[in-house]
Amino acid sequence: QSALTQPASVSGSPGQSITISCTGTSSDVGSYNLVSWYQQHPGKAPKLMIYEGSKRPSGVSNRFSGSKSGNTASLTISGLQAEDEADYYCCSYAGSSTFGVVFGGGTKLTVL
């Protein structure tokens, strides 16, 4: 099962919006509404930010939003803040290839 494709890095200034893409295939991202996104600060465990494509867990800022079009999912962060600087990973159910999940390679977000 191949990893999902994310850009290695994105950047933005405080207050701006950025979008991180996550491209899979018709066997994973394209077939299921089971994409999730995780934020990971250095030396910390990942934190769930978005699940089932666009749902936010309790306690996650509404500046974070998720969407999907075809085989590509996206995470948008609006009103960038310094504390948003972190690595972000997308994840999707992988279907019958493993009956598990597949992650993207991760995107380093730099807040300028």
Question: Under the rule (CB under 8 A), what is the footprint of another protein?
Answer: 1, 3, 34, 36, 38, 40, 45-48, 51-52, 57, 89, 91-93, 98-106
CA distances from 102 to 13, 17, 39 (A): 30, 26, 16
- Rank residues 35 and 80 by Cβ distance to another protein and give the closer one: 35
In the complex, the smallest distance separating the C-beta of residue 86 from another protein, rounded to whole angstroms, is: 13
Rg of the chain on CA atoms, in Å: 13
In the complex, the smallest distance separating the C-beta of residue 17 from another protein, rounded to whole angstroms, is: 24
In the complex, the smallest distance separating the C-beta of residue 49 from another protein, rounded to whole angstroms, is: 10
Q: Using CA atoms, how far apart are residues 75 and 59, in angstroms rounded to an integer? A: 17
Q: Are strands 9-12 and 107-111 parallel, antiparallel or unpaired?
A: parallel
